[in-house]
Amino acid sequence: MSLLVTGSIGIDTVTTPHGQAEEVLGGSSVYFAFAATQYTPVRFVGVVGDDFPPEFRDVLASREIDLTGLEVRAGSKTFRWTGKYVGDMGEAETVDVSLNVLAEAAPKVPAAFVDSEVVFLANTHPALQREMLAQVKAPRLTVCDTMNLWIANEREALFETLKVVNGVIINDGEARQLAEQANLVTAGKDVLKLGPDFVVIKKGEHGALLVTADGATAIPAYPTENVKDPTGAGDSFAGGMLGYLASQGKFDTATLRRALLRGTVTASFAIEDFSLRRVRNVTRQEIDERTAELVEMLRID
């Protein structure tokens, strides 16, 4: 099934206890796309400024990513983010951010993409998410991401978006903030009442939780020791999950559970190096082997 992603494309500078990566390719849709192409080609919609390095476009073009929807806007600057992680690297601290082109009009979905069957609306203003989704004719599955900023300041707009998507992927803090519930299972059930058919709650090193009308499913994170840069882990999770779902062409609870596993494993590779270095070079065989390892870990006699 055809998979479309729209979201931020950025130039990042990241510092962690393991080093620094300066002026590297980043952005929510970029991490998503690289993860998703392990399972299916990706249709890519986004906007950058005329300062976007040509070599970054070449990196994107090196995978099965259709860049027909990538707009290079003359006279504008690309989104930039500078962040750092300290201690256990549980959460990024934003040092500097320049929205630049993201503060302008949203890009348009090309005519060739309007028949996309699976759509992922990566993190951006919820009104813009609905604007982008309205350009797609009749998707079979739509999933969105969001963040604490929109939950706090654009709550009603976010509620409107949640009414028109099939699923939402958020982290544990966002789930508690959105539902105003401390318990994550209760929070997930309350978010279901806002419209989605399923809620995925990312819990970082503690794994992920899937909540549907059938109940809750929890899986642990893959226990990797090699953690260098958590940037993009959540988007890689979403890419692995949605890429797998698009490759299967069905979205029942059992398939969602298997997709949750793939998302978790894909994210475990993203954190093993700075920027896209690891997730760009990981092979499908490595992902399948690590998935099998995690399944075996969960098997209890």
Q: Mean pLDDT of all residues in the chain?
A: 93
pLDDT digits (tens, 9 = 90+) for 12-21: 999 999 899 8
Task: Tell me whether residue 157 is in a domain.
Answer: no
pLDDT by residue (tens digit) across 229-246? 888 899 999 999 999 999
For residue 245, tell me if it sits in a domain. yes
Task: Give the whole-number percent of the chain exceeding pLDDT 70.
Answer: 100
Q: How far is the C-alpha of 167 from the C-alpha of 181, rounded, in Å?
A: 19
Report the number of distinct structural domains present in the chain: 1
Residue 49 lies in a domain: yes
Residue 110 sits in which domain range? Answer: 3-146+227-298
Q: Tell me if 257 is assigned to some domain.
A: yes
Q: Does residue 275 lie in a domain region?
A: yes
Residue 186 has pLDDT above 90, yes or no: yes
Q: Which of 67-71, 90-94, 280-284 has the highest mean pLDDT?
A: 67-71
Domain assignment of residue 216, yes or no: no
Q: Tell whether 209 is covered by a domain.
A: no
pTM score of the predicted model: 0.93
CATH number assigned to the domain comprising residue 142: 3.40.1190.20
Residue 110 belongs to some domain of the structure: yes
